[in-house]
């Protein structure tokens, strides 16, 4: 028997790496992981708070580009990221003009989309 013990990384497709990097670095404040291997496509990796968890961006054609996405990201495919200060995140999103919706469950969480309509959930943790 095996045990799954952690989510090591999540991979998201982006159509424009420069635009995606501006969002993830300037708006969300992530720093690029310096040791991404030389892969046969453009991309960027980000460490997520230690523990070996990462977010991988891959510049590839989006097979779902023409799909209709739900208005609220909580009803769409998404990844959830922990944040310590939801008010600070909201300020950054507001300043960048990024739309978001609150969790429908009443939790201290919100959903937004990156420039390629990938859904991100942010959950406040202490």
Which of the two residues, 92 and 3, has the higher pLDDT score?
92
Which residues lie closer than 8 Å to 105 by C-beta, 6 or more apart?
74
- Mean pLDDT score of the chain: 90
pLDDT confidence band for 1 (50 / 70 / 90): low
At residue 10, the pLDDT reads: 95
Is residue 72 situated within a structural domain?
yes
CB neighbours of residue 69 within 10 Å: 14
- In contact, 55 and 12? CB cutoff 8 Å: yes
In a domain, 16, yes or no: yes
Average pLDDT in the 92-110 region?
93
Is residue 31 over pLDDT 90? yes
pLDDT given for residue 70 in this prediction: 78
Interatomic CA distance for residues 120 and 74, integer angstroms: 9
In a domain, residue 88? The reply is yes
Which range of residues forms the domain containing residue 86? 9-124
Establish if 104 belongs to a structural domain: yes
Asked if pLDDT for residue 49 goes beyond 90, the answer is: no
Domain holding 93: CATH number? 3.10.180.10
Note whether residue 4 is domain-resident.
no
Number of domains in the chain: 1
């Amino acid at each position: 028997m095996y045990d799954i013990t952690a989510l090591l990384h999540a991979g998201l497709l982006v159509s424009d790496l420069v635009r995606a990097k501006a969002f993830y670095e300037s708006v969300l404040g992530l720093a690029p992981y310096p040791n991404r291997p030389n892969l046969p496509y453009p991309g960027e990796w980000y460490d997520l708070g230690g523990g070996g968890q990462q977010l991988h961006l891959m510049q590839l054609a989006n097979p779902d580009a023409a799909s209709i996405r739900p208005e609220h990201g909580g009803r769409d495919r998404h990844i959830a990221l922990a944040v310590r200060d939801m008010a600070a995140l909201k300020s950054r999103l507001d300043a960048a003009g990024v739309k978001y919706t609150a969790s429908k469950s009443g939790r201290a969480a919100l959903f937004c989309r990156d420039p390629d309509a990938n859904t991100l959930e942010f959950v406040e943790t202490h």
